[in-house]
Amino acid sequence: MGPSFAGEWRIAGYDLDFRRQMGLAIKYHSFHKYALRGCSKIDAILPNLMETPIPTNIFNVTDTLVPLANQQGAVVVWAEGNTVSCGGRDGLSNTYIASVWIVDALLELNLAGVGEFFLSSTPKSNYAMYSSIKGTGVKVLPPYYGLYMFYLIIGGSSTRVSRLAHPGSAQLKLWLVENKSNPQTIYSIVAIHKDPTLGDITVTARLPNGETRAKIVRINAASPDAKSGISIAGRTFEASNDGKLTGVCSPDVVVAADGVFSFTVPWLTVAYLVPESNIFTVAQRASKMIKQLKESLALKIYQYELTIGLYMLEPWEKTLFNMFLLLMLSLAMYTTYAYLPDSATYLLAKSKYYLSSVDGS
């Protein structure tokens, strides 16, 4: 893991020089970046958040760092970031507009070559994903909807996105999603409508594999600043106290005419068109679950090494440290198993003696 930088990359030559000198010793290039400034509140307004493609200060990082990482065979990690810095901004970071921005930003960064994302979600901040409610469970907040929608679109690490050309507004964006995590490659289309000067827009698109029936999953809300009433294909987290979607899933079904799909995208809506035949068999689901489990385990190992500081060590040093830690844990478990029952019995007897003045030994 290399150093994580948060400044303007175009003037940070000393940091890039250091990364170049490290060469193959760096496996991850990480950066911290927020779309807008929240401390000074100079630019934390809705129009700036919806800038196309996304606020350019993030691309000031990726257009410099990604080529370097590609040369070194490293992975670029967005290690910290979200809509607005300094805890976010009320009325912006904790509203429906943040959900749309998250989907848009993560697709853009995926296309730019960023391999991993870690969105800031400090509890009680304006960009928190959820809040804990005493006695009732958790309350899912607007930013989580965007993250969940992105997961539905991407689905795993074997997915590639590309931009589709289209006439009209630059703030209407079309993406082709190619998912190779299953035995058969699945193509889908994502449309994001962010142009406030236009009403509902009709999108026409063709899937490469010639599908003729598809379903459309939409994320929408009543207004950009809505903090409630957000839904994904008719389902919502609002009535849930365990973090699971509730309600009936009701995606629109569209039929292609001469191989071309036509569907409507209202303003500030993310529409995800996926083939209706995208139904996995039990074996395919099991294969996908195993792959997701491996990815989750790899992430936990990465977080463990980052937390303990092992990422700075050589492989043999990591092995030595882990063997020592495992030995200490094994000795502690053996000692607990071998001596705790007798010690507990003895202490219980002595406690009984002191409390009742009767020797219980």
Per-residue pLDDT reduced to its tens digit, 16-37: 566 556 555 677 878 888 888 7
Ranked by mean pLDDT, which of 159-173, 218-232, 289-303 comes out on top? 218-232
Query: Is the pLDDT confidence value at 206 over 90?
Result: no
Identify the band that residue 6 occupies on the pLDDT scale cut at 50, 70 and 90.
Answer: low
- Residues linked to residue 268 through DSSP beta bridges, in sequence order: none
Amino acid letter for position 8: E
Query: Is the pLDDT confidence value at 230 over 90?
Result: yes
Residue 105 φ/ψ, nearest 5 degrees: -65, -45
Quote the pLDDT of residue 279: 45
Between CA 325 and CA 346 the distance in angstroms is: 30
Query: Is the pLDDT confidence value at 326 over 80?
Result: yes
Paired tokens of 208: 């490469």
Identify the band that residue 282 occupies on the pLDDT scale cut at 50, 70 and 90.
Answer: very low
Ranked by mean pLDDT, which of 51-55, 180-184, 353-357 comes out on top? 353-357
Give the mean pLDDT of 130-136: 72
Give the mean pLDDT of 276-305: 70
Paired tokens of 69: 């990482």
CA 175 to chain centre: 18
Quote the pLDDT of residue 114: 87
Is the Cβ–Cβ distance between 206 and 259 less than 8 Å? Answer: yes
Query: Is the pLDDT confidence value at 247 over 90?
Result: no
Comparing 3 with 229, which gets the higher pLDDT? 229
DSSP conformational letter for 235: B
Q: With pLDDT > 90 as the criterion, what percentage of the chain qualifies?
A: 16
Between CA 353 and CA 298 the distance in angstroms is: 53
Quote the pLDDT of residue 23: 53
Quote the pLDDT of residue 162: 87
Quote the pLDDT of residue 249: 83
Amino acid letter for position 212: T
Paired tokens of 171: 């703030």
Comparing 25 with 114, which gets the higher pLDDT? 114
Cβ atoms within 10 Å, residue 171: 18
Give the mean pLDDT of 161-174: 79
Identify the band that residue 328 occupies on the pLDDT scale cut at 50, 70 and 90.
Answer: very high
Identify the band that residue 145 occupies on the pLDDT scale cut at 50, 70 and 90.
Answer: very high
Give the mean pLDDT of 294-315: 85
Comparing 216 with 186, which gets the higher pLDDT? 216
Query: Is the pLDDT confidence value at 14 over 50?
Result: no
Q: Which residues contact 67 (CB under 8 A, 6 or more apart)?
A: none
Identify the band that residue 134 occupies on the pLDDT scale cut at 50, 70 and 90.
Answer: low
* Strands of 4-5's sheet in order across: 4-5, 28-32, 75-80, 114-117
Q: What is the largest CA-CA distance in the chain?
A: 93
Comparing 4 with 116, which gets the higher pLDDT? 116
Give the mean pLDDT of 221-245: 86
Is the Cβ–Cβ distance between 28 and 75 less than 8 Å? Answer: yes
